[in-house]
Structures are given as structure tokens and as C-alpha cells.
Amino acid sequence: MYTEKVMDHFSNPRNVGEIENADGVGEVGNASCGDIMKIFLKVEDNVIKDIKFKTFGCGAAIATSSMVTEMAIGKTLDEAMELTNAAVAEALDGLPANKMHCSNLAADALHEAIKNYRENHS
């Protein structure tokens, strides 16, 4: 079913919470499963210095949110925009086929937060 990494990130999610006065915020949802992910960014010199998430969803949704924050922190905005849904799933050593949409949400929420940052800081 779930890999050890998925279970670890579900049981002990990293970077949970909200950033007050975040530089960028992205939210995405999947109506068919009810998952909603929100990502908050703090950006300095075009680099993601802090990142937090709030997710309403299944274990895979929480695990992918946690993983995407770990993958994005310290990256430039351009590098973070290159993170793909497949890369998030791969970093967790895979997801069950019926849960792959969760990885889509995590990367999409990150990309939305970056877009939001760029719209407000251009």
C-alpha cells in the first residue's frame, strides 16, 4: 500500500502550519476527492527561505504536501517551479495509482504560491 517514506511524512509531517504575512500563498483543491492544499512562502533574494503547508485530505495528500516543502526550501523560485508531480511521488518512493492525484496537488499548490508571490512582487 504506502511506502515507509509516505507513512513517515504522514505520521510526522514537516513544515505544517501557516506563515503570517507570507510573501506568496497558493491553494489548490480536487473536487472529486475533497483534498485541499494551501502552501505559504517566505522569499528572500528570490530563494524560498521558509515554507509551510495546511492540507485537508488523506494520508497521501499530507505526505506529498510535507515532501514538496522539503524539496522546495532553499531553492530559487525558478528551481522550485521545475519541481514536478512525478518528482514528488518519486521522492516518496511512489504512491498507489489511485493516490497519484495527491502529488499533483502538492506541486500545483507550490507553483500557485510562487505565481502569487510573483504577481505581488513584480
Written as one string, the DSSP assignment of 65-98 is: HHHHHHHHTTSBHHHHHT--HHHHHHHTT---GG
Active-site entry in 68, 71, 102, 110:
102
CA distances to 45, 68, 84, 98, 100 from 73, rounded to whole Å, are 13, 9, 15, 28, 22
- Catalytic-residue membership of 58: no
> Which among 72, 73, 53 is positioned nearest to 63, based on CA atoms?
53
CB of 72 closer than 8 Å to CB of 26: no
Active-site entry in 19, 25, 33, 81:
33
Residues designated catalytic: 33, 102
